[in-house]
Amino acid sequence: MIRAILTDIEGTTTSLSFVKDVLFPYADQHMQAFVVEHRQDPVVARLIDDVRMEVGKANLSLADAIAQLRQWIAEDKKVTPLKAIQGLMWEEGYRKGDFTGHVYADAVSNLRAWHEQGVKLYVYSSGSVHAQKLLFGYSDAGDLMPLFSGYFDTNIGHKREKEAYQRIVDAIGLPAQEILFLSDIREELDAAQQAGLKTCCLVRENQPTDDLLHPWVENFNKIHFPPA
């Protein structure tokens, strides 16, 4: 019996193009101005220090730290201080109405239905918890945040490591086999399965399924399970 669902965002609830063609370019284009403007903010200052620690250069200049952040964006690196700064930048964009968070209609309808059935919903994404809340809070379908019971990012561990899912299971407080993990990435599903979670792959972008050792569906409408 499934009593909780843990879902990825990019490629699962949300189109890859929204993240890659809207959010990432926005962060890249505004990185210089944002960091310079907010460099005295304690949160931003701490994150810049985290960048210095990440690259092992305590005396890294602000300009070089900005260049490093932009390089990580170009390389699509899942680096925690980058994700945190991006979240702060995207908050400005959402609040100003520069964009809204894309969520597939089939994801919206099923997340609402599962919530009404009493299934607990959680998010696990490489994007910061702050960025996750912004996407769902300012979504195309309105504020979806009340549907979710919790959010997890790379502070709990990387998404391709079994230990991260074990920590999430402990945080949720349910047996692993009662939690269904949804993602479009095979290695993430493998790690979740190794931690004892049930898994389902979202195949929205025509990725190959020949060697996929997980149940897979094309959209949320085709996910069927007996909730507790």
pLDDT score of 134 more than 60: yes
- Hey, what CATH topology would domain 19-96 get? 1.10.720
What distance in Å separates the CA atoms of residue 85 and residue 95, rounded to the nearest whole number? Answer: 16
What distance in Å separates the CA atoms of residue 141 and residue 228, rounded to the nearest whole number? Answer: 27
Q: Where are the domains of the chain?
A: 4-15+101-222, 19-96
Q: Which residues contact 124 (CB under 8 A, 6 or more apart)?
A: 6, 7, 8, 151, 152, 153, 156, 159, 164, 168, 181
pLDDT, average across residues 158-175: 98
- The percent of residues in the chain predicted with pLDDT above 70, rounded, is 99
The residue written with tokens 């993240």 in the block is 19
What distance in Å separates the CA atoms of residue 36 and residue 1, rounded to the nearest whole number? Answer: 51
CATH architecture of the region 4-15+101-222: 3-Layer(aba) Sandwich (3.40)
Contact 64, 26 (CB under 8 A): no
What is the reported pTM? 0.85
- Specify the pLDDT at position 226: 67
